[in-house]
Chain A
Amino acid sequence: MNPFDTNIAHLLAGSMVLVSFLLLYQDRMLPLLNIFAIHACVLACSVGWQAYVQRAPHLFITALIALLFKGVMIPIALRRIVVRLGIHRTIENVVSIGPTMLFGIALVGLSIIVMLPVTQSADTFVREDLAFALSVVLLGFLMMVMRRNAVSQVIGFMSLENGLVLAASGARGMPLVVEISVGFSVLIAFFVVGIFLFRIRERFDTVDLQALDMARGEST
């Protein structure tokens, strides 16, 4: 593997981590959707680069799925839902932005500390890719924990899945079945979410999950 190829791969994977941070602090709904679209596009570039470097043409399909489906279709669909539900104003964070960002940085540090020593036998290419991917996954988790709004939780989840696709594409020669199915499962997952969002709206007039907690039978 020549150093240039590796550097570009790291640049792209590193950009995904940065965009994950943007997702983490963006507290307005429509910009959040735009940033998610950027996240997916960076993922598409990264996977495309892997496809080129590894001479693995099937990865181009994964890249294309990421670009068209997650980069274009889902943000457009979510934008329509958000506008229709009239929630394109602000999202309340449970914790303020400063501590959230610090916590996110700690998570990235953690994933590097965990991944790098463990993967010493693998080549640098895979190692650092996995470290970046784990960072994106953990930041996705953090976003899901911090947000209360159903739409932003879903975006957190999708950014997490982007991290998984990044990891899968970095693992050399990982069979196609898995990647396509990852794309496929996101599709199904999105359907479910779409249905749910509308039904939640029907029932409660809000997509704030706090209202759902109130509706629980047992805890009261």
Chain B
Amino acid sequence: MNVSVGTVALAGLLAIPSLGIVLLAVIPNYRIAAPLNVILCAVTLVSAGALYSHRPEPSLYLIVDDVNTVFLIVGALVGFTTSVFSAGYIAHELQTRRLRSRDVRFYHAMYQLLMFALNLALVSNNIGLMWVAIELATLTTVMMVGIYRTSAALEAAWKYFILGSVGIALALFGTILVYVAAEGRLGEGMPAMAWDRLAAHSAGFDPALLNLSFVFLLLGYGTKVGLVPVHAWLPDAHAEGPTPISAVLSGLLLNVALFALLRFKMIMAGNPGVISPGPMMVTMGLASLIFAGLMIYRRRDIKRMFAYSSIEHMGIITFAFGLGGPFANFAGLLQMAMHSLTKSGIFFGVGYVCQLEGTQQIADIRGLTHSQPLLGWLLLLSVIAIAGLPPFGIFTSEFLLVTSTFAVAPWLAILLVVGLMIAFSALMLRIHGMAFGATDKHYSLGAYRLAPMALHLTLVAIAGVYLPGAIVAWFRHAAILLG
């Protein structure tokens, strides 16, 4: 029984978005397409949820284990709430004629294609298939970033395309090297690309080849994660695309790229002869954290500022996984989940702010808690959450990370805390000006449209106060698998 439910859920996870691509590509009417998009995402979320308790047997192509279910369920949840937010957002863009109905049709089909690619990347058991899925996700988001066709949007899309392609090319070279290393041991053909076999037999691979391949993979997939120094595409892509895409980029795509990196780290972990990948990831993570924290001070554009905050958090998560061990990995997983929820919630809020104020310039946005109190306070609380203050979930994970770092390497912990402080004060400085101050503007916005944002914030707050035992056990098991 378990097997069949799991298989159906796995098939649903991939088939529903594929169906969605076709349906949404042919439905011209936005009023049907937007709710349909929401329904498709909801069914995908149900499939992802079913995989938590029902796991199908791994095949040469697909696998479901404790690690990828964490990413899958967080991803499907963010995908669903973003589709709800996107319905209202896109209606506004149509009214103000920033988008035409043809663009919207394209947008919805691309949204489902992106969901398909991300789900495929997460469940693939084949390092080649995973690469194809991530490349597909990159191309999809490139098209969505350029959808407004303003000069800035085109430049952002072009930059993203070039940097993303270069990254993905490096990752493919790394993938080929892993295959060459495995081929002698596992024989030619498919088995030497199946991740579970690679991880189980990596002790017999040539360590020098694995080392070299990891350098390529770290730079390649690291570009997609947005790690410094290969992050340059990320702020542009976040700032110039439609806001739902900024939410999906931060909440989903970055995680999936990091997940790919973790899969290869797990292969490396099985081989005693290799250089540990941990220090490389710790270094890049810390560099991203501190650099992005400093950059937040200098931003004048609200979406760009939160994009840098995403780089900062991906830095923290990469740092945690690089440090390794059950505690740091647990903190990394929790931070990943909390960051996805909080940051996509923030982008929902920022999307409304930009539409209401008609600008993305931080200096022009004032007194949100007066002009639209519910939105203003929700945004303020979300920023408090992302900055790492209690009682929200990010505080829990950052606290766990800092304490476990102190136990292993106190000097690193000091750098980590300094980086967290820089980003914290920068965010507080900026949000203060936007949330308070005198204003005589008043905006009306239906409270129901803020529901996705409120839901995310509530989940993060609950996780900060009380994590259910089942979730703790699940994350703990995933953390042990991650090594």
Contacts and interface: CB of A to CB of B under 8 A. Distances in A.
Interface of A: 114-115, 117-122, 126, 130, 133-134, 137, 141, 144, 150, 153, 157, 160-161, 164, 167-168, 171-175, 177-178, 181-182, 185, 188-189, 192-193, 196, 199-200, 203-204, 209, 212-213, 215-218
Given A133-B173, A177-B128, A189-B139, 15 more contacts: A118-B212, A119-B180, A121-B206, A122-B206, A122-B209, A137-B169, A164-B172, A167-B173, A171-B183, A174-B176, A181-B128, A188-B136, A192-B139, A196-B157, A203-B149
Contacts of A218: 235, 239, 299-301, 304
Most chain A Cβ neighbours within 10 Å, of B126, B139, B176: B176
A54 to B, nearest CB: 9
Given A121-B184, A122-B184, A177-B128, A189 B165 contact: yes
A52 to B, nearest CB: 17
B112 to A, nearest CB: 16
Interface stretch (B10-18, B188-196, B371-379): B188-196
Given A122-B184, A171-B179, A174-B179, A192 B173 contact: no
B162 A164 contact: no
Contacts of B152: 215-217
Interface of B: 126, 128-129, 131-132, 135-136, 139, 142-143, 146, 149, 151-152, 154-155, 157-158, 161-162, 165-166, 169, 172-173, 175-177, 179-180, 183-184, 188-190, 192-193, 206, 208-209, 211-212, 235-236, 239, 299-301, 304
28 contacts: A118-B208, A119-B206, A121-B184, A122-B180, A122-B184, A122-B209, A137-B173, A141-B166, A144-B162, A164-B172, A168-B176, A171-B179, A173-B189, A175-B128, A175-B193, A177-B128, A178-B193, A181-B128, A193-B161, A196-B146, A196-B154, A196-B158, A199-B149, A199-B154, A216-B152, A218-B235, A218-B239, A218-B301
A213 B162 CA distance: 14
Contacts of B162: 144, 153, 157
Contacts of A130: 176-177, 180
Contacts, number: 128
A78 B209 CA distance: 38
Nearest to A117: B208
Contacts of B177: 130
Instruction: Say what secondary structure dominates the interface of chain A.
Output: helix
A181 B149 CA distance: 29
A172 B146 CA distance: 39
Contacts of A204: 151
Given A177-B128, A192-B142, A172 B183 contact: yes
A173 B300 CA distance: 52
Contacts of A150: 158
Nearest to B240: A217
A122 B213 CA distance: 15
Nearest to A164: B172
